[in-house]
């Protein structure tokens, strides 16, 4: 299993709209091949910052399957305009489990 980690800095005063759009967008990602689970959490100290954690079966399920899909274009339209700066996405694999 691969863990995708993205720190999402949302433009100030758009947090409620972002959360509303994310509620729609999460149905897209959860329908993708290789998707396992996800969490979106809001930072207590910086309420414009979120962390998105997505578990995928393989790196290819995220990088090729999701990011190169038509569904990703819808995800992008719903969410990408909220970010400043655009997030860096990293992938992690288990060392111990």
Q: Measured between alpha carbons, how far is 32 from 84 in angstroms, rounded to an integer?
A: 26
Q: Domains of the chain by range and CATH? A: 2-92 (3.30.70.100)
Give percent of the chain above pLDDT 90: 99
Q: Measured between alpha carbons, how far is 97 from 93 in angstroms, rounded to an integer?
A: 10
**Cβ atoms 3, 49 nearer than 8 A:** no
Output the pLDDT for position 97: 77
Mean pLDDT over all residues of the chain?
A: 97
Residue 4: CA atoms inside 13 Å, Cβ hemisphere, count?
Answer: 26
Per-residue tokens: 60: 């290819």
Q: In this predicted model, what pLDDT tens digit does every residue of 63-82 receive, in sequence order?
A: 999 999 999 999 999 999 99
Q: In this predicted model, what pLDDT tens digit does every residue of 29-64 receive, in sequence order?
A: 999 999 999 999 999 999 999 999 999 999 999 999
């Amino acid at each position: 299993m691969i863990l995708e980690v993205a720190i999402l800095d949302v433009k100030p005063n758009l947090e409620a709209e972002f959360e509303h759009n994310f509620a729609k967008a999460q149905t897209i990602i959860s329908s993708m091949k290789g998707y396992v689970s996800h969490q979106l959490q809001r930072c207590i100290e910086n309420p414009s910052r979120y962390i998105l954690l997505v578990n995928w079966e393989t790196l290819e399920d995220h990088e090729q399957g999701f990011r190169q899909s038509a569904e990703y274009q819808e995800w992008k339209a719903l969410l990408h305009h909220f970010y400043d700066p655009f997030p860096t996405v990293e992938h992690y694999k288990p060392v111990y489990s």
